[in-house]
Structures are given as C-alpha cells and as structure tokens.
C-alpha cells in the first residue's frame, strides 16, 4: 500500500503534539484528517498542510461524536488506515497550576472524573473500535495511542491513572489484533512538552521542555509499511534518534507496552479447566 493511498485520522490535531503529528504523517504523502473540537485550529493546521489534509471538527468524548468523525473522514478521504489517538485533557484544564499543585481526591468531582474518562480513555476506545474492523478486512492498519510517562501515571489523578488504563488496554488490543496486519503501539514524548496542554502555572521552565516535533519521526515510521509486524510496543520519542536507521532507532527507543516485568510478581495462576 503506497503512502498516497493511505488515510490517517489524528485526534487533537489542531495544535501542539497533534499538529506535529499531522505534519509528520502528511509529509509521507498520507492523506490526513485533522480532527479537533476547535474547528478554527483544525482548519489552520489543514490549510498549512495543503490539499492532502482536511479539517474535521468533532468531539471524541461521546459515541455520537466519534462516529461522526469517522464517517466524515471516510466521506472526504476514504477508509481510515492509521488512527492516532492523541486528544486528551490534562490537569491544567482544572486550573492553571494543576500540574504543580495536584488535585486531591475531593477536588476531583464525579463530573470532572467522567469528563476525563470520556476524553482520555473512552474516546480512544470508541475510535479504535470503530476503525479496526475495516483495517482487519483490508489486512493492514495502525493504531497509535499517546499515553504518558510512568512517573505521571503514578503521580497524577485522574489524568495519569486513566493514561495507565489506556496503556493496559493497548496491550490487550495489540494481542487481540496480532497477525491481522493491524498493529497497536504507544508513542509518548518522554517528558513535559512545550504545548498549551501544560498551563503557564505549572512552574516548569518551557525552555527545558521537549518540543512537540520530537513525536514526528517515530510517528511517521510507525505509520509506514516499514513497521509491519511491529506491535505491542511503547516508543519514547525523546529516545528516537532520526540519524539512525529505523531498526537501530527502534532498538534505542522501544520497549513492551505496559509493565510486563510485574508478571514476575504473580506466583500462582489458575490452570484452565479440562
């Protein structure tokens, strides 16, 4: 399958990491659906990428929104071959200093928790569920999920805990789809990234943050036929060396999804019934 015939759907594509991902994928010749709830931002990114990109306004926090986004992509570009679940909501959405003064259990109301679930976990689940049947039928597809660092998973609630859930789900999906031609991988920057996702009240020096463009080279490779059979892995973009060939860069930046070493802590596992 040539890049000219592939279609990528990238959520949260209107800025920051999402815009960097759209740019990198479009540069391979792939047609890109720039999906964002901010229609103006989506159009700005799509226009910068030229006639191989379209802007699609949509909210992936609801089933109806996810369905509408996939339908619009199929109508304008064709079936989705590459899904990048990048849209998310972080602690800075609660208050500007949310990354520095972490919310406690009482601050996270059920309504806030439901909102974080809808965007950070349920949305990627729904999007993956919608597009993978077609990928399986065609015998080729890519699902790339943006989670977060292990440090953040164990430090922040609800953001980190829900990204840990998405990471575990990705491991399950990779196993389910193994051998179908559809791969499921995780791609993370590797640290705080200089985007609007992190508020100015975070207390972090933006000059020391990663640039969102760090996600581009590994994303382009994961979305390519060159990564056929490469699944169930977590890529840390900051460790990806674009001066190396893909195999060497992968060896430096990749590890299994999740925390397989914890399996060693399971001393007894029930045997299947005869």
**Is 159 designated active site?**
yes
Residue 124, C-beta contacts closer than 8 angstroms, at least 6 positions apart = 60, 85, 145, 166, 169
Q: Give me 15's structure tokens.
A: 């800025």
Residue located via tokens 């989506």: 42
Between CA 37 and CA 54 the distance in angstroms is 14
Looking at 77-158, list the stretches that DSSP marks H as alpha helix, in order from N- to C-terminal side. Answer: 110-117, 123-138, 150-155
Q: Any idea which residue has 């990491």 for tokens? A: 17
Q: For 159-211, what is the HEC assignment?
A: HHHHHHHHHHHHHHHHHHHCCCCEEEEEEECCCCECCCCCCHHHCCCHHHCEC
Q: Which of 116, 159, 221, 240 is catalytic?
A: 159
Cβ neighbors of 229 (< 8 A, separation 6 or more) are 183
The residues annotated with a catalytic role in the active site are: 159
């Amino acid at each position: 399958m040539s890049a000219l015939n592939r279609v990528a759907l990238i959520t949260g594509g209107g800025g920051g990491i999402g815009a960097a991902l759209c740019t990198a994928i479009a540069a391979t010749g792939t047609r890109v659906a720039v999906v964002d709830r901010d229609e103006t931002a989506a159009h700005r990114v799509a226009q910068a990428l030229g006639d191989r990109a379209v802007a699609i306004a949509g909210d992936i926090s609801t089933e109806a929104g996810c369905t509408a986004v996939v339908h619009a992509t199929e109508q304008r570009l064709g079936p989705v071959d590459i899904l990048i679940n990048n849209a998310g909501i972080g602690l800075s959405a609660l208050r500007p200093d949310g990354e520095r003064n972490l919310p406690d259990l009482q601050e996270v109301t059920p309504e806030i928790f439901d909102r974080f679930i809808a965007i950070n976990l349920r949305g990627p689940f729904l999007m993956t569920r919608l597009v993978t049947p077609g990928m399986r039928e065609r015998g080729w597809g890519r699902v790339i999920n943006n989670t977060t660092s292990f440090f953040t998973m164990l430090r922040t609630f609800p953001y980190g805990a829900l990204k840990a859930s998405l990471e575990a789900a990705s491991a399950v999906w990779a196993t389910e789809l193994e051998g179908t031609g559809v791969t499921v991988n995780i791609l993370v920057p590797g640290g705080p990234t200089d985007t609007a996702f992190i508020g100015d009240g975070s207390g972090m020096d933006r000059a020391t943050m990663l640039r969102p463009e760090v996600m581009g080279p590994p994303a382009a490779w994961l979305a390519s036929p060159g990564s056929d059979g490469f699944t169930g892995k977590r890529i840390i973009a900051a460790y990806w060396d674009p001066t190396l060939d893909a195999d060497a860069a992968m060896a430096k930046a990749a590890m299994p999804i999740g925390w397989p070493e914890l399996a060693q802590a399971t001393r007894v596992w029930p045997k299947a019934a005869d």
